[in-house]
Amino acid sequence: MTAASMSAPVSMSSVPAAVGRARRRLLWWSAPLVAFALVAVVGPMVVPYDPVTVRLGDRLAPPGTLLPDGPRAWLGTDQVGKDLVAQVLQGARISLIVGVATVLAAGAVGLVAGVAAGYRGGTLDAVLMRLADLQLAFPSILLAILIAAVLGRSVANVIITLSVTRWVTFARIARASSLVTKEREFVTAALATGAGTLRLVRRHIVPFTVTPLVVVATVELGLVILAEASLSFLGLGTTPAHPSWGLIIANGRDYLTTGWWISTIPGLALSVVVVTVGQFGDAVRDYLDPHTGSR
């Protein structure tokens, strides 16, 4: 389909205008996202974050200050004199790691649970979906707060917590598309040729759940990054050794009068990333699934 028309030597005019527009939009929004990923990966290598050293002489320097020992603190320093550039870059990495890992873990669990429920049906389906309903009956951030309190603070625990609160969305989507797919003729045909359940599911059911799951994953990525920041803000996320944006914002709350930049700057970065991911998610949906596009 689209992939074929991209590789085949056809002129752009043979691609419907809407698809072309969706593709341009996708490219346009993926650029800032790639930039974010690059900054998150490379940034902390260039400006390493040192959680231990305290420079009380440099404390609460406003953005752009030339520090006494030479370097310029472009984004200012916090109450113990740590450079905010290093913290924000480290925070970007944590947002990226938590976001991607959570979406992958929740997506994998959701895919297995959803396909099993949709393909098998019966008791398994009923139990899994009641469990999903039960979980949806509860605001996810509150569930996250509870689980995070049980597990304690660490990057890995935040990923586990958020995966537990997010798998349901993936499971529902995977279930819905397996329900539709299993009724199609090629599944019956595969059954008739003697394909085993595992092969049938892997070769004929799962491929059809991938597109909707990718769409959900891009939308969820922004929500997960926000949820991580909220948990860290409440003191239930990462530890100060891994300064997440939420944690830096919480830290800056006590210095609003003397150091407005501590809370302001990571929040700006967080907002920009979430807006970008959201727009990218919309673009992915429009591109992969033009029928349900937004107006």
Partner 1 sequence: MTSYLGGRLVYALFVLWGALTIVFVAVRVIPGDPAQMMIGSEGTRQDVEALRHRLGLDQPLATQYARYLAGAARLDFGASLRLEEPATQAVSERLPATALLAGSAMTLAIAVGLPLGILAAIRIRSAVDYVVSIASLLGQSVPNFWLGIMFILIFARQFRWLPSAGIGGMEHLVLPAVTLALLLIGVLTRLVRSGLLEVVDEDYIRSAYAKGLTRRAVIARHALPNVLIPVVTIVGLQLGNLLAGAVIVETVFAWPGAGRLLVDAISNRDYPVVQVGVLCITAGFILINLLVDLSYAYIDPRIRYR
Residues forming the site for partner 1 (CB under 8 A): 134, 137-142, 145-147, 149-150, 152, 222, 226, 229-230, 233-236, 246, 249, 252-253, 256-257, 260, 263-264, 267, 270-271, 274-275, 278, 294-295
Nearer to partner 1 (CB atom), residue 9 or residue 152:
152
Q: How far is the CB of 215 from partner 1 (least distance, A)?
A: 17
Nearer to partner 1 (CB atom), residue 13 or residue 294:
294
Q: How far is the CB of 81 from partner 1 (least distance, A)?
A: 22
Backbone angles phi, psi at 204, to 5 degrees: -120, -25
Is there a contact between 189 and 171 (Cβ–Cβ < 8 Å)?
no
Q: How far is the CB of 228 from partner 1 (least distance, A)?
A: 10
Nearer to partner 1 (CB atom), residue 24 or residue 253:
253
**Considering only CA atoms, which of 292, 110, 283, 140 is closest in space to residue 224?**
140
Nearer to partner 1 (CB atom), residue 31 or residue 136:
136
- In our burial notation (b when 16+ CB lie closer than 10 A, e otherwise), range 153-182 reads bebebbbbbbbbbbbbbbbbbbbebbbebb
CA 96 to each of CA 29, 59, 112, 226, 274: distance values in angstroms, whole numbers, following the listed order? 17, 28, 24, 11, 11
Nearer to partner 1 (CB atom), residue 79 or residue 208:
79
CA–CA separation, 95 and 62 (whole Å): 25
Which residue has tokens 């959803």?
Answer: 114
E-strand stretches of 115-185: none
Radius of gyration of the chain (CA): 23
Nearer to partner 1 (CB atom), residue 51 or residue 278:
278
Residues in the chain, how many?
Answer: 295
Nearer to partner 1 (CB atom), residue 154 or residue 195:
154
Q: Which residues pair with 66 in a beta bridge?
A: 72
Q: How far is the CB of 146 from partner 1 (least distance, A)?
A: 6
**Considering only CA atoms, which of 25, 90, 118, 130 is closest in space to residue 248?**
90
Is there a contact between 261 and 63 (Cβ–Cβ < 8 Å)?
yes
Q: How far is the CB of 20 from partner 1 (least distance, A)?
A: 20
Q: How far is the CB of 189 from partner 1 (least distance, A)?
A: 38
Q: How far is the CB of 271 from partner 1 (least distance, A)?
A: 5
Nearer to partner 1 (CB atom), residue 90 or residue 157:
157
Q: How far is the CB of 126 from partner 1 (least distance, A)?
A: 13
What token pair was written down for 284? Answer: 């992915």
